[in-house]
Amino acid sequence: MYSDALIDHLRSADRVAVLTGAGISAESGIPTFRDPGGIWEKFEPQELANVEAFLENPELVQGWYRHRRQVVEDAEPNDGHRALVRLEQHVDLVTTITQNVDDLHNRAGSSEVVEFHGNITRNYCTDCEQDVDAARIDAAIEDGQPATCPECEGLVRPDVVWFGEMLPPDAMDRASEATTTCDVFLSVGTSTVVYPAARLPMLAKEAGAYVVEVNPDRTPISGNVDEYLAGPAGEVLPAILSSLDKAA
């Protein structure tokens, strides 16, 4: 499934960077973008995940994200998430760069998480930028009203990156630093077609890292990495960690 070379590289690594995508969260029962079925089936993500839709109908967008948040809150980190936490026992610094907004890496216990697209469990005011508790959103939706800030009455939005918005500069900087300074780079459960995240594996390889892809299906980078490991993260990563534990 994986080579002795990978175990050797991980044993000697000081820094490991990991890029995760929807695949690792799908193993926790989280759909890649939305639940199938129900009233939300008639909406396309592009129709709701943008500023224009939010300003036109904030209650609708808040309700849709509340639905997605509840799906996330009902999910649990899986063996793939937990294996990345275990990796920290062997490597000085493991930085997990995730395209997911579900908070599962944080809940699993990863120490360094870079959230490329934000975190759906957080919300903030569009005017004063103060954090707003999710309970306030839930209460407003139950009352049939748009959720507003308790301080300034501004509209409240989820702390996620919408279509047409720039990625957080801090996340970009941290991801670039981790990618260009790591000894091993793992691309896990991502199709590597959404940029700029899709650029990171090859950026790591150019910087001299040993690059490994873990994915059930081959992607555009599969032929260019040092190892392609076919399979779900929840099976492949724990197997790697078991070998690493034995080699320690």
Instruction: Point out the catalytic residue in the list 9, 81, 105, 117.
Output: 117
Give the pLDDT confidence score for residue 39 in this predicted structure.
Answer: 44
Spans of the chain below 70 pLDDT: 32-43
Q: Tell which CATH architecture fits domain 31-74+119-160.
A: 2-Layer Sandwich (3.30)
Give the pLDDT confidence score for residue 223 in this predicted structure.
Answer: 96
Give the pLDDT confidence score for residue 248 in this predicted structure.
Answer: 73
Give the pLDDT confidence score for residue 33 in this predicted structure.
Answer: 53
Residues 6 or more apart whose CB falls under 8 angstroms from that of 66 comprise 134, 137, 138, 141
Residues 199-236 pLDDT 10s: 999 999 999 999 999 999 999 999 999 999 999 999 99
Give the pLDDT confidence score for residue 34 in this predicted structure.
Answer: 44
Nearest to 90 by CA among 19, 21, 6: 6
What are the residue ranges spanned by the domains of the chain? Answer: 1-29+77-117+167-248, 31-74+119-160
Give the pLDDT confidence score for residue 32 in this predicted structure.
Answer: 63
Residues 6 or more apart whose CB falls under 8 angstroms from that of 115 comprise 98, 101, 168, 171
Establish how many alpha carbons lie within 13 A of residue 210's alpha carbon, considering only the half-sphere containing its beta carbon. 17
Same fold: 1-29+77-117+167-248 with 31-74+119-160: no
Fold designation for 1-29+77-117+167-248? Rossmann fold (3.40.50)
Is 90 an annotated catalytic residue?
no
